[in-house]
Structure 1
């Protein structure tokens, strides 16, 4: 319901027998709600500067007081964007800008992430709930992979190294350096278990006093042929028995000697070193942190570690559970409004998966490179138009999907956020900082490629800005959807930059 009221100056005063009375406003402390949602616009020329006002009344049967207050603040911000002369307000050009650009997310909500303080949680000793990233990983493992059906466990993260020619490495020093790293980075000795009593996935740092043995696996083996070496590498990648999350055994070092284990405890250029991590406590960006500290620990035999003040992954997991996410919640509700999340893209499938059929994990891959000329022209186009390679790649992918689906214009896919360290305080922590968010492109078939690129730049930038909002909460915003089809089509951009 909408009501417009103009208060006339001619009816605002009362005079009788020489006595004048002036009308004053009367505000009821408790409103009677005749409608579920009613807005009253009041124009009163008697007030200073012809003040205008809105009055919002909502049924208490449906709305909490705090909800009505927030809706009113968003209405006020909407008016400010259209008519305010304040330079700090994100103003809308009423002649040329689409009304879809009007933002209901309040300025302070766009800064909600910056206001969060990431610091050591003194009340958290060694146990805390799992992070959203860890919960998502374990949830996907339970849903997508069934032991007697699935053949490809995907959570081993091996990194393989061999020495340069005529170089050597002390096994004793390496082992000591790894011990220092596991001592400093507690994620590498953290267990992950499901507590049935409170139906919650929990993580716990395993202290050295709880385990008399080392808190990581250190093994040595030999190979003679390339077939033997390839078998060992395959086991490191695909053997699901290498780690034990319940015991906190999530990191292992495997030394593979050529023909025989060295008697002088030195690795040579024909030997292989494998550092292997469980993905629940490690992501690709953690590798740079690990290698930096490994180099320092091996060279100096020590590793600075202020155990009482350092921000831990455990602290991050607690803080993110308490973070205000109102702005992010509103963004994702708006971004996916009227999106048919349960309808998959019309890809040219050879067969269809039944609704109760589990994913096997088996796949077929092809790859090709652009070649020198095409690569050069691609990079030149991106740089000359001041476009990031990531945005250009995404735009090409949407063009391809548009054609592959015979003209489907509302394309919603999943975007992997592989390094979700959105604050500087998180960039020195080893752990899992990942999320999956929708990327929805509503394209116009009559757009030229540049118009599509501008649209892709906008949606990608905004989606990444609010990528701290957990996928679980995005899905919870659409409880009527049982199968979120956008998760079946994905896009990932990987850039190898020189350090």
Structure 2
């Protein structure tokens, strides 16, 4: 992670004083004197903070070189960006400083405005917020500085995560709409297309208004919406657990420390489909706030609490929320009395396809400059087709619009009432349900037409399934017996809705025709649907009778 600077005109910088200042920073921040060693016996990476006596000026390097042309300078910068051999993790060499003099190395060890200064950190020990801390400390240490670091208790965090994941099926993946499944020995390619869409001004404004009026953080609101989406996408899975990326700098004692404080924590949401969106929002806020308190507990420690599970399924699905402002390319920093300007660098990234360790991930970015939101969905090509991922992104956008476009109508609406169906799909279903046909006879009821067919072809096959079959006469007999039973025992009145929950069989056809012949209205139910969905449909139709087999 190189950052490149040059001095402003008529400014100078002492290399000796810079070296002393950097040495102070190395001593101050443990992450900058930490080694990373692979333990082959335990098959794990081990971090070791080097003790104070082991820290010396060799813990970081100041490399000096020269350039005369822009081409030479670009080659040096490219090497800093992509050469992994510049660091030695086993020895704790995770930071380096590279001074590139113009034409020749300064004999008096003073930098001028044509010289280039590069600070380069290994990404395993340095995150994005660390840079501002580093620059602040460098400025102070160039003059003189001191530091205090703090430790955090792990006992309470360990108990919290044990309780959070208690009785959760860690090895059971969420049933997303996969196009194919991965076998245990299949290789992960980590290839994932990236599909993005912006909220737009209207939806962004409605999202912000909802968050403001309910006094809730944008991250919590986005997360609650994501849980609803996963609930619908998994066909009603109520116990949801996902991974969330954390930068872990919400604690005051961490805001002034350099290091890679990012962590992954499990977020478990045990929702009730009958909850309103507002109730779920309060639940997610409390759950996330409690989890944040212990987000410093390393993921490896959480995994070690469940040794029987080699790869928890929640690590396959992730959520991340980022807020950022556009950085200006000519950002200036101060070291002592000298001013330096940053030099922008570019990275070669394919926008259409990325490398992603998750099977399914959602990233929502809040652009603080425009005050708008961008949503990005990444899904593994090992499991999904590109067309499926695009359709999933359309469904999430639909969920967002349903949740925030008509806030007054949606706030108290039950979660199960939110639909994944897209507008074009809704139109298609309406056209398929438009079954009105003109029959060239005075007969207008299905069962009347059925009786006419019986009179014409009584011994012909009316229905057949596998090895079973019924003639028109046999089918009419069973239909009449059941319809008379419904009328006499249950006093069915014309137009009354009668539900039937029967698998594909001859009995299903008998039940349909008997409901019609008794004057009722047929409503199908499926035993494969979630129980709450079946109950909701029965309540909505106000049916007092359900036929089962």
TM-score, normalised via structure 1 length:
0.54
Q: Which residue of 2 aligns with 1:490?
A: 318
Q: Which has the larger radius of gyration?
A: 2
Asked if residue 347 in structure 1 is aligned to residue 176 in structure 2, the reply is: yes
Q: 1:243 aligns with which of 78, 83, 87?
A: 87
8 Å CA contact 2:154, 2:297 repeated in 1: no
Structure 2 unpaired stretches of 5+: 326-367, 369-549
Q: Which residue of 1 aligns with 2:428?
A: none
Aligned residue pair count? 322
Partner SS for 2:321: coil
Identify if the C-alpha distance between structure 1 residues 384 and 266 changes in structure 2 by more than 3 Å, giving closer, same or farther: same
Cα separation, 2, equivalents of 1:411 and 1:467:
19
Q: Which residue of 1 aligns with 2:425?
A: none
Identify if the C-alpha distance between structure 1 residues 345 and 205 changes in structure 2 by more than 3 Å, giving closer, same or farther: same
Partner SS for 1:416: strand
Q: Which residue of 2 aligns with 1:377?
A: 206
Cα separation, 1, equivalents of 2:253 and 2:106:
44
Identify if the C-alpha distance between structure 1 residues 480 and 367 changes in structure 2 by more than 3 Å, giving closer, same or farther: same
Partner SS for 1:494: strand
8 Å CA contact 2:60, 2:96 repeated in 1: no
Partner SS for 1:495: strand
Q: Which residue of 2 aligns with 1:216?
A: 61
Q: Which residue of 1 aligns with 2:128?
A: 284
Query: What is the CA distance between 1:458 and its match in structure 2?
Result: 1.8
Partner SS for 1:375: helix
Partner SS for 1:288: helix
Any residues of structure 2 matched to 1:120-131 within 5 Å, and which?
A: none
8 Å CA contact 1:160, 1:272 repeated in 2: no
Any residues of structure 2 matched to 1:424-463 within 5 Å, and which?
A: 424-463=252-291
Query: What is the CA distance between 1:280 and its match in structure 2?
Result: 3.9
Query: What is the CA distance between 1:495 and its match in structure 2?
Result: 2.7
Asked if residue 182 in structure 1 is aligned to residue 23 in structure 2, the reply is: no
Structure 1 unpaired stretches of 5+: 1-157
Identify if the C-alpha distance between structure 1 residues 469 and 263 changes in structure 2 by more than 3 Å, giving closer, same or farther: closer
8 Å CA contact 1:420, 1:435 repeated in 2: no
Query: What is the CA distance between 1:387 and its match in structure 2?
Result: 0.8
Query: What is the CA distance between 1:202 and its match in structure 2?
Result: 4.9
TM-score, normalised via structure 2 length:
0.49
Deviation readout 1:110-158 (Å, 9 max, x if unpaired): xxxxxxxxxxxxxxxxxxxxxxxxxxxxxxxxxxxxxxxxxxxxxxxx1
Cα separation, 2, equivalents of 1:217 and 1:363:
39
Identify if the C-alpha distance between structure 1 residues 206 and 442 changes in structure 2 by more than 3 Å, giving closer, same or farther: closer
8 Å CA contact 2:31, 2:49 repeated in 1: no
Q: Which residue of 1 aligns with 2:497?
A: none
Partner SS for 2:174: coil
Q: 1:311 aligns with which of 145, 149, 153?
A: 149
8 Å CA contact 1:217, 1:252 repeated in 2: yes
Any residues of structure 2 matched to 1:248-263 within 5 Å, and which?
A: 248-255=92-99
Partner SS for 1:394: helix
Query: What is the CA distance between 1:283 and its match in structure 2?
Result: 3.4
Cα separation, 1, equivalents of 2:60 and 2:177:
49
Q: Which residue of 1 aligns with 2:237?
A: 408
Query: What is the CA distance between 1:248 and its match in structure 2?
Result: 1.6
Cα separation, 2, equivalents of 1:469 and 1:369:
34
Q: Which residue of 2 aligns with 1:97?
A: none
Cα separation, 1, equivalents of 2:120 and 2:64:
12
Query: What is the CA distance between 1:441 and its match in structure 2?
Result: 1.5
Query: What is the CA distance between 1:486 and its match in structure 2?
Result: 0.5
Partner SS for 1:241: helix
Query: What is the CA distance between 1:165 and its match in structure 2?
Result: 7.5
Identify if the C-alpha distance between structure 1 residues 373 and 477 changes in structure 2 by more than 3 Å, giving closer, same or farther: same
Cα separation, 1, equivalents of 2:113 and 2:246:
38
Identify if the C-alpha distance between structure 1 residues 451 and 219 changes in structure 2 by more than 3 Å, giving closer, same or farther: farther
Query: What is the CA distance between 1:247 and its match in structure 2?
Result: 1.7
Cα separation, 1, equivalents of 2:224 and 2:267:
12
Query: What is the CA distance between 1:414 and its match in structure 2?
Result: 0.8
Q: 2:226 aligns with which of 383, 397, 410?
A: 397
8 Å CA contact 1:420, 1:468 repeated in 2: no
Cα separation, 2, equivalents of 1:207 and 1:477:
32
